[in-house]
Amino acid sequence: MRMLIDILHPAHVHFFRNAIAEWRHRGHEVRILSRKKDVATELLDAYGLQHKVISTQKPGRLQLAGELAHRIHATQKVIQHYRPDIMLGLMGPSIAVAGKLTGVPTVVFYDNETTHNLNKIVSKLTDAWISPRGFEYNYGAKHIRYNGYHELAYLHPNRFTPDIGCLQQYGINADKPYSILRFVAWESIHDTGESGFDLAGRRKAIEKLSRIGAVYISSEKPLPAEFESYRLNLPVENIHHALSFATVVAGESSTMASEAACLGTHAVFLSKSGRGVNKEQEERYGLVNNFNEGRQKAALAHLENLAQRGPEEIKREAGARRDVMLADVVDVTQFVVDYVQQYDCSSELAAA
């Protein structure tokens, strides 16, 4: 088969990279359309994945709408020359429209409820709309669910082994407790109306986590000078090793909270709206503590409670809870590869 993969976000690189390797091993041809968003293109380059940049993210709704129109047109042009048998992506508005206009079957994977109205449109245009079981909405007959989380496509033990050496060469002593704070830029389409820690809250979060051990900050936006000494200076492709050995991961990223949970690291997620995946990770496994509705005060109180516990206890408890979770989920890359393999020359997708 000739496959066309749409990459809009750094997390999409991680989701597809193992599947791409497997598809190519099986003899399929795969091409990648990319987008300049955060470190998405840097990740593709780091993993040696050739790609074609067809748009750049810019802030603001009008700019996003303009980018979407441009991306649909650019995708159609690629389709005319490449003639893919199938297109795959996450969120997927551009490939859903382009696929409908050109008759190319499209499969979209997604796990974020905050784009509900867009999801409804995309799910009607695609041949299959696939989510984790914890997703809170139902989009009808084309909506397929699997047992697991997107992050298990690259963090399942079959796909990832933590390497302490990846951290030591960059000055991170993983033999001692440390925490990671993640701040986001709030510029994605699913970030409309969102917010996280204010400046005072960031200072308090650093102070509380410093009682556990060292604190490192990962930020999509430039850091204020007062936080610069906490910057996590690590190649983007090594971030999951850092998450794996951390004692606590706290911040504003739903994806990073889920990644931490999948690696057996206690996660704290602050946002205005919640996510079904993170909610399930809290209710089923106790791996994430969600503070929705912008409950910064409650999130800081939770960090205070964590600071009063021993880091060994925090890590041991999260590891045991991860073991319970892993017994209950699938290798998501294997699911994705096998599902797409069901596609045949009649351009029909069999339900999984």
pLDDT per residue as tens digits for the range 240-251 = 999 999 999 999
CATH number of 2-156+331-341: 3.40.50.2000
323-344 pLDDT, tens digit per residue, is 999 999 999 999 999 999 887 5
pLDDT score, position 347: 45
Please tell me which residue, 72 or 349, carries the higher pLDDT value: 72
Could you tell me the CA-to-CA distances from 234 to 45, 238, 312 in Å, in that order?
A: 16, 7, 24
125-173 pLDDT, tens digit per residue, is 999 999 999 999 999 999 999 999 999 999 999 999 999 999 998 989 9
As beta bridge partners, residue 218 has 182
As beta bridge partners, residue 108 has 89, 129
Average pLDDT over residues 107-128: 95
pLDDT score, position 183: 92
Q: Is the pLDDT of residue 348 over 90?
A: no
Highest CATH level, class, for 165-326: alpha beta
The residue extents of the domains of the chain are: 2-156+331-341, 165-326
**CB 3, CB 75: distance < 8 Å:** no
> Which token pair is 137?
């909405």
Could you tell me the CA-to-CA distances from 294 to 76, 135, 274 in Å, in that order?
A: 40, 21, 10
Tell which phi-psi region holds residue 347, choosing left (phi > 0), alpha (psi between -120 and 50) or beta. Answer: left
**SS3 at position 213:** coil
